[in-house]
Structure 1
Amino acid sequence: MNIYVANIPFKASEQELKGLFEEYGEVSSAKIIMDKVTQRSRGFGFIEMADDAAGRQAITSLNGFNFLGKTLVVNEARPKSDAPRSGGGGYRSGGGGGFNRRNNNNDY
């Protein structure tokens, strides 16, 4: 079972997060998402648990849990295709064209 964890303290390590979830069953992997530029934690991550029942128990027990001073938000992760896509639409068409203000004396 793949579990989404939000509001992870920036000082938390993947090993500490894994240890928290291991109390409920075998953790296959623990990943805190890092900012590509700053290499700092983005404050969320994913836990992969081998057993779905253990994963559900971890979600129930740890959602709202105070971890290193912050209240965790823990849910079953949605498949990537269900996540809203960014970009597209809106009023970002680029623009251009229009008025040229080379001079203001109207001698064209």
Structure 2
Amino acid sequence: MPSKLYVGNLAYSVSSDDLRELFLQAGQVQSATVISDKFSGQSKGFGFVEMGSPDEAARAIQQFNETELKGRNIKVNEAKPREGGFGGGGNRGGGNRGGGNRGRDRW
């Protein structure tokens, strides 16, 4: 099990320091981050915590999932890689697909 955790259903008043302080009860915290809107700075209501080991991450899930933090029952589970996201590019350019000479005389 990886040691990075998703923490959801956070009250907007929860800070990264609040997350770190809470999760220290389950073991060593490598990082704790509440995700915020890049324009307004407002919390998006979720964050990520990276624990020191997979065992500590499992303990944190067991200890904190569905527990109350600042008036809301938080969700804690293993962080999953983003699906879709911003990778891959895709064929967005369109480009010249030929056929530009249609309807012209060929002789």
Shared fold per TM-score greater than 0.5: yes
Return the alpha-carbon distance in structure 2 between the equivalents of residues 86 and 74 of structure 1. Answer: 22
Matched, 1:47 2:46: no
Moved >6 Å (runs of 4+): none
In structure 1, the partner of 2:19 is 17
Q: Say yes or no: does 1:69 pair with 2:71.
A: yes
Q: Distance in 2 between matches of 1:86 and 1:30?
A: 22
Please state how far the C-alpha of 1:49 moved relative to its aligned partner.
Answer: 0.5
Cα deviation for residue 84 of structure 1 reads 3.0
Please give the TM-score of this superposition, normalised by the length of structure 1: 0.73
Q: Return the letter of the residue paired with 1:17.
A: L
- Matching residue's letter, 2:47: G
Q: TM-score, normalised by structure 2?
A: 0.74
The match for 1:98 is: none
- Aligned partners of 2:33 and 2:39: how far apart in 1? 18
Q: How many residues align?
A: 84
Q: Deviations over 1:28-66 (max 9, x none)?
A: 000100101111100000000011101101001111001
**What percent identity do the matched residue pairs reach?**
36
Cα distance between partner residues in 1 of 2:33 and 2:56: 18
RMSD: 1.4
